[in-house]
Amino acid sequence: MITVIVIALALCAVVLFYMAVRGRRKQAGHGVRPVDLTAFRTLMDRDDELFLRRKLPRSKFSHLKRQRIRVTLRYVTRIASNASAVMRMGAAERLNPAPEVAGAAAQVTELATQIRLQCLVAMSKLALEYALPSLQLTPGMLAPKYQSLRDSVSRLGDLTHKPAPLAAAI
Amino acid sequence: MALKPLISFLSFAGMFLQGTLAIVLLARKSWRQHPLFTSYGVFSFAMSVMLYFLQRRAIYPRSYFYGYWIQEAIAMVLGFCVVYEVFRHLFSTHKALLKLASLIFRWTVVVLFCLALAVVFVQSPGASSLSKTVLVLEEATRVVEVGLLMFLFGASAAFGLHWKQAEFGIALGLGLFVAVQLTTVTLLSQLGMSAWAVLNVVRILAFDVSLLVWLGYLLAPERVATTGEVPKRAQLEQWNQAVTELISR
């Protein structure tokens, strides 16, 4: 039994390494992708959900909620991916000789890191809600935090005296 | 023994690659960035040369055996140090994550240590000779090493961390070698010495591939992160339209 577990562990490791190589290539090929925060806020709005729950039969409501979760998950994945791109950009700018730029870059990196963690939590909550549509978990502060990230990236762009296409794009 | 020439060829190729890696590491002054990996690379090469001469001109019959296993033990300890070095590098720029990652890292070590202990308890009754005992210990150690490398790759994917080229190569090369080593050691303790020749070829081949991975990632130029792929306004509008349609469907 233990032999099977050990061999399975080794095989999982090889698969994980392969996925990491593929992920790295993909990451190099993709830039940032835009997020429509207004649409995202609408998707996260729980009042809509309460209304639908009251109006629709249980099965129809579950079906609709799962559809909505699938779309929300796409947004959260995109936010997570953009936060990761900002983390990378922030880490590079932290080496800037100007202390105010380095400081702002550190702040941006911290914020992006927090958003990335919140995305993980949000994904877990959404997965739970997908499994049990009757659950209604607090969606967290992802949308306002993301807006604040955009502002911080824009400020960082101003400090570095470079056009900040990243802030406009995320 | 048809495999003997193949083993000799792969061993020589490995020694050549180890030498090249040691030269690359020293020429690039890699000890400043990765002191532990540099030690690992140079030590591996020095020991390979020493073991080669021990094998050719053995003064004591068991000198190669002891030399080999002492080298393996030191290399395994250095391997753990390399994993920790990569971990520190990966999380050093993300202070907010470092605390959480360190906590998960410690718990992963505890879980893997328990699994390694289980391996020792289950396999040790069958280990009648010194060689078999050493194999069981190696299997247990490799379990921890593979697990920690999996943690590194898993955590970096979950947290969306960006690997530097060299660190990614170091972790990938070590991971490949250690995963194959774990498989061969486990199979060897199950199948016995009859499978030694074939598994030895696989093991040496895996090490040679790892050396190529290390060299490849160390010599390849670092990819520059660009923001050049920023979407145009029209693309943003297309996306918004697509989402609106998706929502209203």
Q: Count the alpha carbons within 13 Å of B132 in the hemisphere toward its beta carbon.
A: 12
Average model confidence (pLDDT) for chain B?
84
Per-residue pLDDT at B102 exceeds 60: yes
| C-alpha to C-alpha distance for B115 and B129, rounded to whole angstroms | 23
Per-residue pLDDT at B4 exceeds 70: yes
Q: Nearest Cβ partner of B231 from A3, A14, A33?
A: A33
Query: A142 in a domain, yes or no?
Result: yes
**What percent of chain A lies above the pLDDT cut of 70?**
89
Query: A4 in a domain, yes or no?
Result: no
| C-alpha to C-alpha distance for A143 and A136, rounded to whole angstroms | 18
Query: A3 in a domain, yes or no?
Result: no
A89-93, A114-118, A133-137, B229-233: segment of lowest average pLDDT = B229-233
- Say how many domains are in chain A: 1
| C-alpha to C-alpha distance for A74 and B57, rounded to whole angstroms | 64
First and final C-alpha spacing in chain A: 49
Q: Nearest Cβ partner of A3 from B172, B180, B190?
A: B190
- Asked whether the beta carbons of residue A17 and residue B179 sit closer than 8 angstroms, the reply is yes
Determine contact, residues B115/B186, Cβ cutoff 8 Å: no
Which pLDDT band, with edges at 50, 70 and 90, does B131 fall under? confident
Residue, of A164 and B217, whose pLDDT is higher:
B217
- Asked whether the beta carbons of residue A31 and residue B240 sit closer than 8 angstroms, the reply is no
ipTM for the whole complex: 0.79
Q: Is the four-CA dihedral A13, A16, A21, A27 of positive or negative sign?
A: negative
Q: Nearest Cβ partner of A89 from B143, B225, B243?
A: B225
Query: A98 in a domain, yes or no?
Result: yes
| C-alpha to C-alpha distance for B101 and B107, rounded to whole angstroms | 10
Mean per-residue pLDDT, B214-243 = 61
| C-alpha to C-alpha distance for A88 and A24, rounded to whole angstroms | 13
- Asked whether the beta carbons of residue B231 and residue A169 sit closer than 8 angstroms, the reply is yes
**Nearest residue of chain B to residue A78 (CA atoms):** B160
Q: How far is C-alpha A101 from the geometric centre of its chain's CA atoms?
A: 25
Per-residue pLDDT at B27 exceeds 80: yes
One-letter identity of residue A143: A
Q: Range of A153's domain?
A: 36-169
Which among B177, B244, B168 has a CA at the least distance from the CA of B208? Answer: B177
- Taking the model in full, what pTM does it have? 0.79
Per-residue pLDDT at B64 exceeds 60: yes
- Determine how many CB atoms are found less than 10 A away from the CB of residue A128: 12
Q: Is B223 on the interface with A (CB under 8 A)?
A: yes
pLDDT tens column, A16-50: 999 999 888 776 666 677 788 888 888 887 777 88
Mean per-residue pLDDT, B150-169 = 89
Burial tier of B201 (Cβ tally within 10 Å: 0-12, 13-18, 19+): middle
Q: How far is C-alpha B43 from the geometric centre of its chain's CA atoms?
A: 15
Query: A9 in a domain, yes or no?
Result: no
Query: A155 in a domain, yes or no?
Result: yes
Residues of B in contact with A24 (CB under 8 A): 163, 168
Residues of A in contact with B186 (CB under 8 A): 3, 6-7, 10
For B60, list phi and psi in degrees, rounded to 5: -110, 140
Which pLDDT band, with edges at 50, 70 and 90, does A151 fall under? confident
Q: CB pairs below 8 Å between A and B: how many?
A: 134
Determine contact, residues B219/B162, Cβ cutoff 8 Å: no
Q: Is the four-CA dihedral A141, A147, A149, A152 of positive or negative sign?
A: negative
Q: Is B225 on the interface with A (CB under 8 A)?
A: yes
Determine contact, residues B135/B189, Cβ cutoff 8 Å: yes
pLDDT score of A146: 85
Per-residue pLDDT at B138 exceeds 80: yes
Distances (CA, A) of B12 to A45, B69, B99, B155: 65, 19, 44, 37
Query: A78 in a domain, yes or no?
Result: yes
